[in-house]
């Protein structure tokens, strides 16, 4: 197999971050309606879940979601190689190794951010995956762990792992504090230091360096792209998804995925809910929860959101809930 390499200069230009309990296949289908070029990521899938669990449940996706990356959590090279091979067989476009999650549960599994303390092990994991797949193998990591804020730490980590064949690094520009902070606090309390990601790009110009953390506006994306190769957006993409509808034109120089309104997106999602209910017995509210930010910032958004999230509506068909929600929006407008 060839050593993994960037598939195109713009492949990692803009992406939506892997977010546990959020970026499932329903969420990704919704996001793909809004942007056709942005790279999407799965939730983190542990090697144990694939080795001992229901592989189709964890790996199946809608073809419309591509380009799509599978994020893996694990620290055993042979297990990761097996799971990376599964990812390629299921037609994912990239395999990403999580070296950034600071949760105690992940630490107990000996992976996530704590792996940054063992760069040679990460390199061994990467090499094991690179050796068995032809799609890119990438790493998402922090700039440091605990209170060590030296640039040397992250520089040496990237240097060691890149020698194993990883050419793309997604850098969450905060330290991960492994004790004393919740995952939410770890996204907010350690200070953002984008300059370290910028230094990585300067020191490793041959690598693709993307930045993640705290990016909430198109101006901030454009500013970061002056220094690095790509930007990964997390919570803001989820809570304010209509922002994604501008990305294709703004950052990829092409027409939007669809010339449409929020109402049209909502209708397409209801059609998707109906297909999912028929094919997989998926309740519509499991899908609808991901689009509750669609009217973010508009008059009546709160009342529209209340209709879609009202537990009393769960027994109604999705199309009837759509009618009620749009009626509420029309009144507000």
Give 151-200 pLDDT, tens digit per residue: 999 999 999 999 999 999 999 999 998 887 888 888 888 899 999 999 99
CB 24 within 8 A of CB 65: no
Provide the whole-model pTM: 0.94
Q: Is the dihedral of CA 14, 17, 23, 24 positive or negative?
A: positive
Asked if residue 1 has pLDDT above 50, the reply is: no
What kind and span of H or E run contains 85?
helix 77-89
What kind and span of H or E run contains 151?
helix 151-162
What's the pLDDT band for 5 if we cut at 50, 70, 90? very low
Q: Are residues 180 and 211 in the same domain?
A: yes
Q: Are residues 46 and 134 in the same domain?
A: yes
What pLDDT is attached to residue 180?
78
Rounded to whole angstroms, how far apart are CA atoms 197 and 209? 7
Domain-ending residue, one of 252, 284, 309: 252
Give the list of residues 6+ apart from residue 151 with CB closer than 8 angstroms, or none. Answer: 196, 199
Does a structural domain hold residue 121?
A: yes
Opening angle at CA 81, ends 89 and 112, nearest 5: 110
Q: Are residues 93 and 178 in the same domain?
A: yes
Q: Are residues 151 and 295 in the same domain?
A: no
Task: Please give the tally of structural domains in the chain.
Answer: 2
Asked if residue 135 has pLDDT above 60, the reply is: yes
The helix/strand/coil state of 98 is strand
Rounded to whole angstroms, how far apart are CA atoms 191 and 181? 13
Rounded to whole angstroms, how far apart are CA atoms 69 and 57? 16
Q: What is the largest distance, in Å, between two alpha-carbon atoms of the chain?
A: 60
Residue 15 CB neighbours (<10 A): 24
φ, ψ for residue 232, nearest 5 deg: -110, 125
Rounded to whole angstroms, how far apart are CA atoms 126 and 130? 6
Q: Are residues 35 and 75 in the same domain?
A: yes
Give the list of residues 6+ apart from residue 129 with CB closer than 8 angstroms, or none. Answer: 77, 80, 81, 84, 95, 97, 137
CB 154 within 8 A of CB 197: no
CATH code for the domain in which residue 299 is found: 1.20.120.1460
Q: Are residues 153 and 20 in the same domain?
A: yes
What kind and span of H or E run contains 263?
helix 262-280
Q: Are residues 234 and 270 in the same domain?
A: no
Query: How does DSSP classify residue 33?
Result: H
Rounded to whole angstroms, how far apart are CA atoms 241 and 98? 24
27-71 per-position pLDDT tens digit? 999 999 999 999 999 999 999 999 999 999 999 999 999 999 999
Q: Are residues 313 and 204 in the same domain?
A: no
**How large is the average pLDDT for residues 10-25?**
96
Domain limits for position 66: 14-252
Active site residues: 101
Q: Which has the closest alpha carbon to 148: 205, 193, 212?
A: 193
């Amino acid at each position: 197999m060839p050593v993994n390499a960037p598939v195109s200069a713009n492949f990692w230009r803009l992406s939506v971050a892997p977010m546990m309990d959020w970026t499932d296949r329903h969420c990704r289908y919704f996001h793909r309606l809004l942007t056709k070029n942005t790279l999407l990521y799965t939730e983190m899938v542990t090697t144990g879940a694939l080795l001992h669990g229901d592989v189709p449940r964890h790996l199946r996706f809608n073809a419309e979601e591509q380009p799509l990356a599978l994020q893996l959590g694990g620290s055993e090279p042979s297990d990761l190689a097996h799971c990376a091979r599964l990812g390629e067989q299921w037609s994912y476009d990239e395999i990403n190794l999580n070296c950034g999650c600071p949760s105690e549960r992940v630490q107990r599994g000996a992976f996530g951010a704590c792996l940054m303390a063992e760069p040679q092990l990460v390199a061994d994991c990467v090499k094991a995956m690179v050796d068995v797949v032809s799609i890119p193998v990438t790493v998402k990591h922090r700039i440091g762990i605990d209170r060590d804020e030296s640039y040397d730490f992250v520089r040496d980590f990237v240097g060691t792992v890149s020698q194993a064949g990883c050419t793309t690094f997604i850098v969450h520009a905060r330290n991960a504090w492994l004790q004393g902070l919740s995952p939410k606090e770890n996204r907010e309390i350690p200070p953002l230091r984008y300059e370290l990601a910028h230094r990585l790009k300067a020191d490793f110009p041959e690598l693709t360096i993307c930045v993640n953390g705290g990016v909430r506006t198109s101006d901030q994306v454009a500013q970061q792209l002056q220094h690095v190769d790509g930007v990964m957006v997390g919570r803001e993409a989820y809570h304010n998804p209509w922002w994604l509808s501008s990305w294709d034109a703004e950052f990829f120089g092409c027409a939007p995925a669809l010339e449409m309104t929020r109402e049209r997106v909502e209708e397409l999602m209801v059609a998707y809910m109906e297909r999912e209910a028929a094919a997989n017995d998926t309740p519509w509210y499991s899908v609808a929860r991901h689009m509750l930010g669609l009217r973010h910032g508009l008059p009546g958004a709160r009342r529209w959101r209340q209709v879609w999230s009202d537990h009393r509506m769960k027994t109604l068909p999705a199309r009837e809930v759509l009618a009620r929600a749009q009626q509420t929006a029309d009144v507000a407008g």
